[in-house]
Amino acid sequence: MSDPVWTDVCDLDEIDEEDVMRFDHDGRTFAIYRAPDGTPFATDGLCSHEHVHLAGGLVMDDTIECPKHNGRFNYRTGAALRAPVCVNLATYPARIADGRIEILI
């Protein structure tokens, strides 16, 4: 597996604060978040419970709620917080560079 590289995602303003967007890259899918203070975060894009894109869910403070079964994760740490999710999400470093969001994958 090659070393992770900073990968361009989108303009910062394409994601509202306290919201999430789907990002597909190189056969993988990610969920890209902006916290209420605007800080970007990134996790795996699919819920660890079943095959559902988290980008359709609701961001509340530090949590993302899956749109299918309402399981919740802390998107900063990937921690599973509420059944039916039991398995944590993988997280990826995210940053803002020249007004764009980048993630390290």
Binding site for another protein (CB under 8 A): 16, 19, 49-51, 56-58, 60, 65-70, 72, 82-84, 86
Q: What three-state secondary structure class fits 14?
A: helix
Q: What three-state secondary structure class fits 54?
A: helix
Q: Which two tokens stand for residue 70?
A: 């309402």
Shortest approach of another protein to residue 59 CB, angstroms? 8
The count of other CB atoms within 10 Å of the CB of residue 90 is 11
Shortest approach of another protein to residue 53 CB, angstroms? 10
**CB nearer to another protein: pick between 7 and 52:** 52
